[in-house]
Amino acid sequence: MNTGNPHDDWLKAKVAVTASIQEAIYSLEQSSMQIVLAITEDGQLAGTLTDGDIRRAFLKGHNLDSKISGIINRKPLVVPPDMGRDLVLQLMSANKIHQLPVIDTDNKVVGLHMWDTIITPSALDNYMVVMAGGKGTRLRPHTEKCPKPMIEIGGKPMLEHIIERAKADGISNFIISVHYLGEIIESYFENGNKWNVKIEYLHEERPLGTAGSLSLIDNLPSSPLIVTNGDVLTDIHYYDILEFHQRQGASATMAVRQHEIENPFGVVKTKGVDITGFEEKPVYRSHINAGIYVLNPTCLSLIERNTHCNMPTLFERIQSESGRTVAFPMHEPWLDVGRPDDLVQARNMNQ
């Protein structure tokens, strides 16, 4: 499984809205999803059908040759592709359903959320690369003898929080890029057996930036890479950003958060010397880089080996090669632990 699709086999649940009940039963048996997606000739969702619906149809006098068009639920609960895992779970739980179709703006089915799959995510073959080589100068003296990702939050290193969070989403292959005091990180995590994951290391001889160390990966995987900074604590579901990346047909995806800055003064609008209006303490909103990315392996060919490159530069290079770069809007709790105040906040949150 490459991207965390709601369910790779959902296509087996599709049948024509003109199908018979017998054909629908065959679909239920073949897909094992306990739902049939009735599709119109132009590919739109006409309705859904469950085993219970078929039973009730038989009680009303329908037979195996009856058309499903007369018994389908024509107003099923559906969700858009960009709805996050947590909200999907809430909807399924509140409505006591185990299947939830994913519909695009043209009312066409593009996926199917399955309760069991969401609760226990399938194992992903995607690699996560964690950038853990920085010196963390803004966090001194905490980082004088300890690499920043190894600073403890809630009794364990930040990097351990990141690995455990990713493992919960089905990720078991990790690459950690190390430089400053990297031996401490390697000594602690070793090959990852303690966490039932596989960990490899990239060794930066000098700081290579947020993207530069990716050039040191010798054996590129075939699936998109998740890349994260080693000082980012978040409740994001990596499953969601991988799925978003695939649905957008992107070459590179950057997680972003909305950032607000309030002007503490009333703003006077003018045209020349004439006052045209007033705005009391306006709030300016923008998107900031959240330090989490998804990259297609081909993007790494744009980084010269062992050469400094930051992530915005890589995204610009991808754009110049006509690759699609997209922003994944985050709403989950997120904290970039880069300053002493951030560290205090992170520790207070984990008390």
DSSP assignment string, 259-275: EEEE-SSPEEEEETTEE
What is the C-alpha separation between 184 and 190, in angstroms, rounded? Answer: 10
- Residue 32, pLDDT above cutoff 80: no
pLDDT digit string, tens, across residues 96-107: 888 889 988 888
Going from the C-alpha of 75 to that of each of 38, 59, 258, the distances in angstroms are 12, 22, 34
Contacts of 316 (CB under 8 A, 6+ apart): none
% of the chain residues with pLDDT over 90 = 33
Regarding whether 66 and 166 lie in a shared domain, the answer is no
Question: Residue 215 belongs to what domain range?
Answer: 124-349
pLDDT-derived band at 350, boundaries 50, 70, 90: low
Residue 5 lies in a domain: no
% of the chain residues with pLDDT over 70 = 88
Contact 235, 207 (CB under 8 A): no
Q: Where residue 26 sits, what CATH number does that domain have? A: 3.10.580.10
Stated pTM of the model: 0.66
Regarding whether 168 and 57 lie in a shared domain, the answer is no
Contact 299, 319 (CB under 8 A): no
What is the C-alpha separation between 228 and 108, in angstroms, rounded? Answer: 33
Q: Where residue 202 sits, what CATH number does that domain have? A: 3.90.550.10
What are the residue ranges of helices labelled H in the chain?
A: 21-31, 51-59, 85-95, 115-119, 158-168, 182-189, 209-212, 238-247, 311-320, 340-349
Please identify every residue annotated as catalytic.
281
Centroid of chain to Cα 351: 27
Residue 334 lies in a domain: yes
Angle between helices 51-59 and 21-31 (to 10 degrees): 150
Regarding whether 136 and 113 lie in a shared domain, the answer is no
Residue 2 lies in a domain: no
When the pLDDT of each residue in the chain is averaged and rounded to a whole number, the result is 84
Instruction: Tell me which range, 180-194, 234-248, 256-270, is most confidently predicted by mean pLDDT.
Output: 180-194
What is the C-alpha separation between 266 and 90, in angstroms, rounded? Answer: 41
Q: What is the mean pLDDT of residues 21-45?
A: 87
What is the C-alpha separation between 174 and 166, in angstroms, rounded? Answer: 9
Q: What angle do CA 119, 116, 101 make, to 5 degrees?
A: 105
Domain boundary pick from 119, 145, 162: 119
Regarding whether 225 and 291 lie in a shared domain, the answer is yes
Question: Domain tally for the chain?
Answer: 2
